[in-house]
């Protein structure tokens, strides 16, 4: 056995379902179309729950927004927080989905978009109608700057000023994202009450939790001061155009956000007698600033950890990234990992096919709750959407930043429409590689799908992997990142990942339970041989 670093444990007892769950993210437009209009829908998801629970073996779904929406940002512009867009079905379809999912043992997590509504939401239509409208203060309206122009220098994540002038009432309104996504004024108690009411609405319908969209944006500087300009962006920063030219000191994450999240948590706790209702927040921050969103175990159950999305893909990087997350966790807080989502280039494209296999092995064996992005279990690649077919407003505005490529329909079969629809889907699909579909991969025991299934199966059968502690293993070749997971009763699993291109031999004995190559499974006596970019899960 290799020497180890100090251990990381501290699982709060009793632990809840979300500590040990694997979450599967569904982009509802692209999972399954039930009615032949080329767009995925809720009934489509329901029809494929057996795949998720039975074939794949995940524990929970997070479904991206299916609220009533004009779809300026494909549902992240909500026109009614308590209804379903007809494109996706109706509330009754959602109830059926929840009931069937629960019947199969799957939890259902939905998106909640607190920072902004759609400009077509009745609240904003009223707010915009006159300065004296009772809902005027439900959004952020400001006079032009003294010399004219925007009230301050805040810019929208999607490019251009974060302020749009409204001729009729002579003021600007704030939108951290598109102009069609006006920011709600969370400092107005009526807004807070109405929005927390929408959480209760879905909790009553049986949802098990929420993914909170861009949630640290909800509280800004109450004086609306301009942001400092960043003269020299850090090397390696993600180029989001204009947005990265500023230090985002005042336009998001004001400390009052923590008070708000405590209130959100209190609502979830009201409904947690029978089972914990859970929250995970989209928080693009780092280190202690990021970890603060766990609060004192009284804010978000977890802020999403995005540190694994981008890196130089070395063993040292992976080990450092995991270590940095473990090191900032407050007592009793639980980690989580993400390799892809509807905003990021597909992992198989970002890191390559071999690394995507290794990455999945790592995702499903680290200490923490993993989120698996739909299609990554097939190694789906980033689609190249021709400019005239691009749908994402961000990409249309800032070429190169569009997110359509990671949002294409799940490929169920090699049929022209991927078995997803009977007509040409909203985003043309057809991967040139005929093997990246469920049908073909089920028939191939070496496929990414079988690897993912196997890892989920091993995880399910191992308390060490689900909730055990984490210790990095020391003294191994430089290209190897390895760790030990151990349950309270002593059950132990070791994971070895060779990030290098050359084969390595690591001292190990036991049985390989799962590996990036199927022929590695079986007993190991003394040494484990890992080819370049291979990984293995071993029971010592």
Size of the site for ligand NOJ (CB under 6 A): 9
Residue 282 beta carbon to Ca ion: minimum distance, rounded to whole angstroms = 26
Under 8 Å between Cβ of 41 and 33: yes
Q: Please say which residue, 342 or 367, places its beta carbon nearer to ligand NOJ.
A: 342
334 binds, among ligand NOJ, Ca ion, none (CB under 5 to 8 A by kind): none
Give the span between the Cα atoms of 428 and 436, in whole angstroms.
Answer: 15
- Residue 344 contact partner, candidates Ca ion, ligand NOJ, none, CB within 5 to 8 A by sort of partner: none
Say which of 85, 93, 111, 213 is annotated catalytic.
Answer: 213
Q: Is 455 helix (H, G, I), strand (E, B) or coil?
A: helix
The DSSP output letter for 375 is T
Q: State how far the alpha carbon of 343 is from the alpha carbons of 66, 340, 456, 500, in Å.
A: 17, 8, 24, 28
Quote the least distance from Cβ 281 to ligand NOJ, whole Å.
11
> Rounded to 5 degrees, what are φ and ψ at 418?
65, 15
> By CB under 6 A, what part of segment 163-192 binds ligand NOJ?
177
φ/ψ region of 430 (left if φ > 0, alpha if ψ in -120 to 50, else beta) reads: left
In sequence order, the 6+-apart residues with CB closer than 8 A to the CB of 59 are 17, 20, 21, 22, 23, 105, 106, 107
Respond yes or no on whether the N-terminal peptide bond of residue 14 is cis (omega within 30° of 0).
Answer: yes
Q: Which is nearer to ligand NOJ, 73 or 93 (CB)?
A: 73
Question: Which residues 34-63 are close enough to bind ligand NOJ by CB under 6 A?
Answer: none
Q: Least separation, in Å, of the C-beta of 375 and Ca ion?
A: 18
**Which is closer to Ca ion, CB of 35 or CB of 95?**
35
Query: Which residues, 405 to 464, sit near ligand NOJ by CB under 6 A?
Result: none
Selection from Ca ion, ligand NOJ, none that 213 binds (CB < 5 to 8 A by kind) is ligand NOJ
50, 239, 269, 270: the catalytic one is 270
* Among 16, 37, 343, 439, interactor with ligand NOJ by CB under 6 A: 343
471/361 Cα distance (integer angstroms):
17
Please identify, using beta-carbon distances, which residue of 73 and 376 lies nearer to ligand NOJ. 73
Q: How far is the CB of 115 from ligand NOJ (least distance, A)?
A: 7
Q: Which of residues 123-142 bind ligand NOJ (CB under 6 A)?
A: none
Residue nearer to ligand NOJ on the CB measure, 185 or 462: 185
Closer CB to ligand NOJ, 85 or 326, in the complex: 85
Using H for helix, E for strand and C for coil, what is the string for 394-415?
A: HHHHCCCCCCHHHCCCCCCCCC
Please give the residue ranges that form the binding site for Ca ion (CB under 5 A). Answer: 33, 35, 37, 39, 41
76 is a site residue for ligand NOJ (CB under 6 A):
yes
- Catalytic, 193? Answer no
Closer residue to ligand NOJ in complex, CB, 345/442:
345
Among candidate residues 449, 505, 502, 463, the one with its CA nearest the CA of residue 482: 505
What minimum distance in Å lies between the beta carbon of 111 and ligand NOJ?
8
Q: State the residue number with the nearest CB to ligand NOJ.
A: 76
Residue 29 and residue 188: Cα distance in Å, rounded?
33
Could you tell me the two tokens for 227?
């942001």
What is the footprint of ligand NOJ within residues 356-395 (CB under 6 A)? none
User: Nearest to residue 465, comparing CAs of 376, 528, 539, 518?
Assistant: 539
To ligand NOJ, the closest distance from the beta carbon of 4 in angstroms equals 37
- C-alpha separations of 100 from 42, 44, 80, 89, 374 in Å: 12, 13, 25, 16, 19
Partner from ligand NOJ, Ca ion, none binding residue 342, C-beta < 5-8 Å depending on class: ligand NOJ
Which parts of 279-318 interact with ligand NOJ (CB under 6 A)?
A: 282
Contacts of 510 (CB under 8 A, 6+ apart): 494, 523, 524, 538, 539, 540
The answer to whether 326 and 8 are in contact (CB under 8 A) is yes
CB of 478 to ligand NOJ, least distance (A): 36
Residue 9's nearest CA partner among 505, 486, 516 is 486
Site string for ligand NOJ, 227-266 (x = CB under 6 A): ----------------------------------------
Q: Active-site residue 270, yes or no?
A: yes
213 near ligand NOJ, rule: CB under 6 A = yes
Q: Which does 392 bind (CB under 5 to 8 A by kind): Ca ion, ligand NOJ, none?
A: none
Task: List CB contacts of 410: < 8 A, sequence separation 6 or more.
Answer: 30, 31, 32, 374, 375, 378, 380, 418, 420, 438
Nearer to Ca ion, 37 or 137 (CB): 37
Smallest gap from Cβ 80 to ligand NOJ, in A, equals 16
Tell me: does residue 214 bind ligand NOJ (CB under 6 A): yes
Kindly state whether residue 342 participates in binding ligand NOJ, applying the rule CB under 6 A.
yes
Q: With beta carbons less than 8 A apart as the criterion, state whether 47 and 84 touch.
A: no
The residue among 531, 540, 530 whose CA lies nearest residue 471 is 540
Q: Which residues contact 203 (CB under 8 A, 6 or more apart)?
A: 267, 268, 270, 271, 277
Look at residue 108 and give the partner it binds from Ca ion, ligand NOJ, none, a contact being a CB closer than 5 to 8 Å depending on partner kind: none
**Least spacing, CB of residue 426 vs Ca ion, in Å:** 9
Q: Which is nearer to ligand NOJ, 214 or 533 (by Cβ)?
A: 214
Query: Where on the chain is the footprint of ligand NOJ (CB under 6 A)?
Result: 73, 76, 113, 177, 213-214, 282, 342-343
Catalytic residues: 213, 270
């Amino acid at each position: 056995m290799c020497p180890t670093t100090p251990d990381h444990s501290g699982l709060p007892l009793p632990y809840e379902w979300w500590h040990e769950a694997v979450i599967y993210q569904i982009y509802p437009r692209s999972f399954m179309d039930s009615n032949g209009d080329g767009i995925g829908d809720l009934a489509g998801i329901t029809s494929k729950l057996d795949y998720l629970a039975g074939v794949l073996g995940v524990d929970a779904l997070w479904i991206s927004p299916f609220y009533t929406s004009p779809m300026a940002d494909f549902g992240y512009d909500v026109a009614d927080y308590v209804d379903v867009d007809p494109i996706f079905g109706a509330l009754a379809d959602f109830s059926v989905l929840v009931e069937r999912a629960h019947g199969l043992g799957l939890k259902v997590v939905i998106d909640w978009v607190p920072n902004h509504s759609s400009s077509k939401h009745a609240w904003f239509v009223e707010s915009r109608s006159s300065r004296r409208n009772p809902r005027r203060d439900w959004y952020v309206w400001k006079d032009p700057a003294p010399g004219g122009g925007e009230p301050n220098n805040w810019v929208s994540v999607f490019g251009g000023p974060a302020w749009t002038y409204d001729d009729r009432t002579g003021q600007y309104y704030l939108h951290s994202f598109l102009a069609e996504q006006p920011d709600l004024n969370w400092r107005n108690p009526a807004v807070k009450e109405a929005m927390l009411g929408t959480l209760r609405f879905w909790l009553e319908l049986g949802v098990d939790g929420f993914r909170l969209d861009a949630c640290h944006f909800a509280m800004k500087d109450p004086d609306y001061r301009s942001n400092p300009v960043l003269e020299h962006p850090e090397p390696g920063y993600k180029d989001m155009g204009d947005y990265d030219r500023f230090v985002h000191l005042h336009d998001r994450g004001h400390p009052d956000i923590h008070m708000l999240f405590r209130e959100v948590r209190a609502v979830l706790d009201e409904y947690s007698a029978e089972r914990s209702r859970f929250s995970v927040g989209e928080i693009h921050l780092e280190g202690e600033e990021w970890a603060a969103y766990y609060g004192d175990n009284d804010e978000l159950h977890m802020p999403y950890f995005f540190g694994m999305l981008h890196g130089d893909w070395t063993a040292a990087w992976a080990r450092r990234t995991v270590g940095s997350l473990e090191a900032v966790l407050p007592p009793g807080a639980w980690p989580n990992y993400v390799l892809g989502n509807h905003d990021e280039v597909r992992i198989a494209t970002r890191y390559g096919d071999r690394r995507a296999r290794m990455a999945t092995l790592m995702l499903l064996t680290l200490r923490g709750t993993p989120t698996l992005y739909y299609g990554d279990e097939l190694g789906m690649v980033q689609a190249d959407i021709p400019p005239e077919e691009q749908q994402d407003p961000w990409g249309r505005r800032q070429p190169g930043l569009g997110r359509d490529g990671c949002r294409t329909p799940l490929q169920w079969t090699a049929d022209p429409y991927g078995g997803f629809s009977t007509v040409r889907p909203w985003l043309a699909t057809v991967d040139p590689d005929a093997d990246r579909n469920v049908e073909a991969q089920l028939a191939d025991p070496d496929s990414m799908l079988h690897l993912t299934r196997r890892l989920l199966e091993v995880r399910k059968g191992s308390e060490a992997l689900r909730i055990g502690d984490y210790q990095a293993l020391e003294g191994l070749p430089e290209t190897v990142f390895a760790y030990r997971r151990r349950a309270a009763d002593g059950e132990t699993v070791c994971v070895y990942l060779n990030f290098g291109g050359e084969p390595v031999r690591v001292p190990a004995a036991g049985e390989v339970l799962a590996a990036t190559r199927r022929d590695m499974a079986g007993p190991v006596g003394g040494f484990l041989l890992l080819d370049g970019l291979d990984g293995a899960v071993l029971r010592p």
